[in-house]
A and B are shown apart, each in its own frame.
Chain A
């Protein structure tokens, strides 16, 4: 292997590592944060749609009930998130990978 080729492969390695580091440290957590925020917003939406799941009567639940068939994934995920969320702090804490 010539010197040039070795330098070339070393540079590729460095570039790959840098890209990985950048993705892992900067972009990935950012996307994760956005997704978490989206889930939070969705939870708020679900709660506004179906407060009667918690015994709070809602004036529009008659109308939102017809959305339910299209909300299968959301409904399941919502219930799951509602169950395993200890506190708001805990959920916000997930973004820091200690």
Chain B
């Protein structure tokens, strides 16, 4: 399995359960593992009965496992503070108010959270040397897909901005008559430097996601979840990302044959429709089923986690492809 493993899917299908179980599986097999939750409504803390922060912390009773929770809200706030600090250092007091407003506005745009989250993604992937495996528990499908499409999308934008900036600076340099200092200079231009830094970040992310990441989609055996998964598989394929498998969660347990009560009939009917859905998943979608987990009576925690982990047929050993 590749170094970065992502679990995605519709809201409420059990992504956290699956990703936690897989992380535990890796850790117990002796692979040093980091579990990263990127869902703003974190539930990793509920699975392990332990609170986590923005920096990796060891999980109790799991020697090879660390976990962290990324909070986009905090990331956005920090970015805002940092930008404002730079503003205070660079800009004359008369202009500060004007620019300040602009900065505030930029941090309230709809994309701000995603961008902040994405920055953290890049950081986590960059500083991942001490771990052999990083498991991402992502936010529900829509958000994740947008997040993963960001490098492709933003790269184009940044390239355009960079091109425009270079063009105008070049002209300013040419317009400087004789020994006059040009108004802008290519060399040491902070704008070009920053944009180039961004471009490199995006390329790095794209490279990592395409060559070192594997994706698993968690599905429930119901119509809506299956349809959303189909779309997600298509989109991930479009971005050139590698969908390795589907993990079906919340399957109904079959009653014993001698049971004939109302409950047993209900369960039997339910199992029948679910088998139908499973067949659909197997036939219509290219990624194979890697796990079929039955509904648990209690929340998946502690001991259950190990049981679920055993049912996930995803390798833990590190390979590059």
**B-contacting residues of A (Cβ < 8 Å)?**
27-28, 31-32, 34-35, 37-39, 41-42, 44-45, 48-50, 52-53, 57-72, 75-76, 79
Contacts and interface: CB of A to CB of B under 8 A. Distances in A.
A55 to B, nearest CB: 10
A34 B175 contact: yes
A52 B103 CA distance: 10
Given A57-B110, A69-B99, A63 B115 contact: yes
A35 B175 contact: yes
A32 B175 CA distance: 7
A60 B191 contact: no
Interface stretch (B164-172, B227-235, B263-271, B296-304): B164-172
Summarize B's interface: helix, strand, loop or mixed. helix
B115 A62 contact: yes
B88 to A, nearest CB: 8
A72 B194 CA distance: 15
B197 to A, nearest CB: 10
Summarize A's interface: helix, strand, loop or mixed. helix
Interface string B282-315: 0000000000000000000000000000000000
Contact of B99 (A28, A44, A59, A68): A68
Interface residues of B, number: 48
Contacts, number: 125
B168 A38 contact: yes
Contact of B168 (A45, A61, A67): A45
B98 A75 contact: yes
A72 B92 contact: yes
B199 to A, nearest CB: 10
Contacts of B116: 62
B161 A62 contact: no
B153 A59 contact: yes
B91 A72 contact: yes
Contacts of B45: none
Nearest to A42: B168
A72 B86 CA distance: 12
Given A70-B190, A72-B91, A63 B164 contact: no
A69 B153 contact: no
